[in-house]
Amino acid sequence: MSEDALEAAQRAYQSAREALHTARRKLAEAVLDAYANGEPVGRIAERTGQSTTSVRNTLAVHGITPRSRVNGSP
């Protein structure tokens, strides 16, 4: 591989990493919004293609547990 090809591959890799980071952030925001709007974890998992554990982990990272309240709701 030439130096140009290596540099091009590195740029493509970095671009892909940034796109993945953005996509993960948007997915987490969508999960949080859906949960805040009353959607059950199981349904969020179905709609996003994630496991319920993954959805719960996303919520937990943001301080939301099954015992906590979202947006101060009772």
Cα–Cα distance, 37 to 24 (Å, whole number): 20
Indicate the angle between helix axes 3-36 and 41-48, nearest 10 degrees. Answer: 150
Is residue 74 included in any domain, yes or no?
no
Q: What domain count does the chain have?
A: 1
Give the model confidence (pLDDT) of 34-63 as tens digits.
Answer: 999 999 999 999 999 999 999 999 999 999
Mean pLDDT in the chain?
91
Q: In terms of C-beta density within 10 A (0-12 exposed, 13-18 middle, 19 or more buried), how is residue 15 classed?
A: exposed
The answer to whether the predicted template modeling score (pTM) of the entire model surpasses 0.75 is: yes
Cα–Cα distance, 66 to 74 (Å, whole number): 13
Is residue 71 included in any domain, yes or no?
no
Query: In terms of residue numbers, what domain contains 32?
Result: 3-61
Cα–Cα distance, 35 to 27 (Å, whole number): 12
Confidence of residue 28 (pLDDT cuts 50, 70, 90): very high
Confidence of residue 2 (pLDDT cuts 50, 70, 90): confident
